[in-house]
Amino acid sequence: MSATLRHAVWVIRGNPITGVAVAGLSFLIGIALFAPWIQPYDPLASNVQMALQPPSAAHWAGTDQLGRDILSRLIAATRLDLAIAASAVAVSFVIGAVIGSISGYMGGRVDRVVGRIVDVFMAFPLFVMAMAMVAVLGNRVENIIIATAFINLPFYIRFARAEVNVRRGAGWVEAARACGDSHMQVVLLSLLPNILPAMVVQITLNLGWAILNAAGLSFLGLGVTAPTAEWGIMVAEGARFILSGQWWLVAFPGAALMFTVLCFNLVGDGLRDVLDPRMRT
Amino acid sequence: MRAVITIAHHTARRFLASIPALLGVLVFTFLMMRVLPGDPAVFFASDPNAGPEEIEQMRKTLGLDRPLPVQMAYYFRDIATGNLGRSMTTGQPVVTDLAERLPASLELTVTALVLALSLALPLGVLAALYPGTLLDHAVRFVCSLGVCVPTFVSGLVLIYVFYVILGIAPDPTGRLGAFDAPPPGITGLLLVDFLIVGDFESWRSALSQLILPASTMALFVLAPLARMTRASMLAVLGSDFIRTAHSLGLSRRKVIITYGLRNALLPVITITGVVFSTMLGANVLVEKVFAWPGVGSYALDALLASDYAPVQGFVLLMASVFVLVNLTVDTLYGIADPRVTIE
């Protein structure tokens, strides 16, 4: 057994919550993968006679104002929300890591300019910026992904910059250069893999944030539109019925959001303990 | 006196350093407005069936026929003179609208921040004093949960529990109870205005309207504040001077509060600045849930109506507030830890 794996087992034994979170996350990913086969009803099929039914044996999570089965909608939404978050984070990670490490590797004026631009972007209220972007680009799922990726980008650039900056003077970088690697090869083949473990922690923690962002946008009516099943929009539709006491419209998608973000955050914390015990707080 | 001068000097330097960021924000909003769909000339041409000549005329009046850099110069001039355009939905100048609604957002955000800090500091200190105990784990648990619940969900849950079930919270819409007259607009902050007028009945009613939205927001930012307090307090409590203070026989209270907390405060101030700007963004969601008449809900309504001048004004306002907050944080640094300014 490799040392890292042994360390991981040790961490999970010391902090069983991480193990639970990993199980929870696998459960969610399983649901997302097999969504079309496990949802008991069609998530879009309305049945007005069955509108606003509380949870029962037939409808475990009740029905919404159009009589759609909430559990089926939750399952379909798991797939959509995880896909949105994963693609957004993937896009910003790839672009951010490349820009950040090139900038950090080059140093000097280029690095200062990149740093300034990142500062400018971080001076924006980022959620508001995402709102404006979706409004400009149009209410479509791709645009939520673009907006979420865009507001995550400065964090990745800054992170990769800092990490590469620390390592650029290291002996193995010089060795790679001495072996005849071009600058591009050094960045892509030596430096990027080296900062990857630290970035994985960042990615995991970021996924939870991306889900909150995407759901927040849909809650406001930006991005995913009406009949589609998505957690944020389900909460927004259910909000109208909370005053008349139909709690299940909000409670279940809300709990799904919370559970997902919690799992990502706990797994992220656990990964940080595995990969970099110094950063524990 | 010398310290004050150093702090002022430091703050001035930071302010100058933030000007490029503000300029960047200006350029970005300008470009964003140009990318937005819809031709303002067509919109502003009075007659919906205006002919091409009329639209062309309008374009000239609006300066849209000039090259982009010239337009940008005009744009900067407008902003420097406080002209942010006119909202198409309310028909008022954007500056007026924002000035009217900013106090509501500030009251909500500041109350939430005070609430969060007054919970997070003691919790963080306690968790650091008894690390690894049940108390520590409980604090960590509450924090992990708080950061995972989106504000729009926790707000609705609070409404359901305290208004629908328990019936102790007022109708969760707006800043004023249904039967209260608004106070004369002195500061725009209801809690302050009612106090000045001496209307304690309405003051209590305004406070009860504020509690749920402020708690919603406080819950969301509790985690970073408490976590940072705990981490930084743990580091300080382990240092030599704390041990020395203990061995000199100083009271536990003095060691923890005067020596420990003051030294642990610096990172907490940093994170408070970050948290404040997150709250400015999260405001939009909370204001929407509680029908709070702040700048966030104003910008959102405008955005959904494709009315972009208010959105631009809102973004600029938020960016300026952000810069101001950062400046305040820098100044607070100097006060909390005089060593910072000696470089």
Classify residue A129 by burial, with Cβ atoms within 10 Å: 0-12, 13-18, 19+: buried
Average pLDDT over chain B, rounded to whole?
80
Three-class secondary structure of residue B189 per DSSP: coil
What is the domain-level CATH number for residue B264? 1.10.3720.10
ipTM: 0.84
Phi, psi of B86 (to 5 degrees): -125, 140
Mutate to test the interface with A, among B23, B156, B230, B320 (most CBs of A within 10 A): B156
Q: Å from B152 to nearest chain A CA?
A: 8
Question: Tens digits of per-residue pLDDT, B47-64?
Answer: 556 677 777 776 676 667
Q: Å from A139 to nearest chain B CA?
A: 11
Q: Which residues of A touch B (CB under 8 A)?
A: 116-117, 119-120, 123-129, 131-132, 135-136, 208, 212, 215-216, 219-222, 232, 235-236, 238-239, 242-243, 245, 247, 250-251, 254, 257-259, 261-262, 265-266, 281
Question: Tens digits of per-residue pLDDT, A90-141?
Answer: 999 999 999 998 888 888 888 888 887 887 777 667 788 888 888 878 788 8
Dist. CA B8–CA B120, nearest whole Å: 30
Phi, psi of A117 (to 5 degrees): -60, -40
Q: In this structure, is residue B134 part of a structural domain?
A: yes
| Chain B residues inside the 8 Å CB shell of A257 | 148-150, 153
Nearest chain A residue to B164, by CA: A243
Question: Tens digits of per-residue pLDDT, B171-181?
Answer: 777 777 666 66
Q: Å from B235 to nearest chain A CA?
A: 10
Q: Å from B198 to nearest chain A CA?
A: 33
Asked if pLDDT for residue B343 goes beyond 50, the answer is no
For chain A, what percentages of helix, strand and coil (3-state, to nearest 5) are there?
75, 0, 25
Asked if pLDDT for residue A164 goes beyond 90, the answer is no
| Chain A residues inside the 8 Å CB shell of B299 | 128, 131
Dist. CA A260–CA A266, nearest whole Å: 10
Sequence spans of domains, chain A: 3-38+65-280
Domain spanning A3-38+65-280: which superfamily?
A: MetI-like (1.10.3720.10)
Alpha-helical runs (H) found in A107-230 = 108-122, 126-137, 141-167, 171-178, 183-185, 192-219
Q: In this structure, is residue B73 part of a structural domain?
A: no
Question: Tens digits of per-residue pLDDT, A60-76?
Answer: 777 877 878 888 888 98
pTM, entire model: 0.83
**Three-class HEC string of A7-50:** HHHHHHHHCHHHHHHHHHHHHHHHHHHHHHHHCCCCCCCCCHHH
Residue type, A164: V
Here the contacts of A40-48 (C-beta below 8 Å, separation 24 or greater) are A40/A69, A40/A71, A40/A72, A41/A68, A41/A69, A41/A71, A41/A72, A42/A72, A43/A68, A43/A69, A43/A72, A43/A73, A43/A75, A43/A76, A43/A77, A43/A229, A44/A68, A44/A227, A44/A229, A45/A69
With an 8 Å Cβ cutoff, are B153 and A258 in contact? yes
**Which residue do the tokens 């994170």 mark?**
B271
Asked if pLDDT for residue B334 goes beyond 80, the answer is no
Q: Å from B27 to nearest chain A CA?
A: 11
Q: Is the C-alpha dihedral spanning B5, B10, B15, B17 positive or negative? A: positive
Kindly indicate the confidence band of residue B342, based on its pLDDT and cuts at 50, 70 and 90: very low
User: What integer pLDDT is reported at residue A123 of this predicted model?
Assistant: 64
Structural domain of residue B208, as residue ranges?
94-297
**Which residue do the tokens 């000239």 mark?**
B60
With an 8 Å Cβ cutoff, are A132 and B157 in contact? no
With an 8 Å Cβ cutoff, are A254 and B149 in contact? yes
Nearest chain B residue to A217, by CA: B285
Q: In this structure, is residue B24 part of a structural domain?
A: no
Q: In this structure, is residue B29 part of a structural domain?
A: no
Q: In this structure, is residue B9 part of a structural domain?
A: no
Q: A121: which strand partners?
A: none
Taking the CA atoms of residue A262, residue A264, residue A267 and residue A269 in that order, the dihedral angle to the nearest 10 degrees is -80
Q: Which tokens hold the place of B209?
A: 């309207």
Q: Å from A281 to nearest chain B CA?
A: 5
With an 8 Å Cβ cutoff, are B157 and A117 in contact? no
Mutate to test the interface with A, among B141, B153, B232 (most CBs of A within 10 A): B153
Q: In chain B, how many domains are there?
A: 1
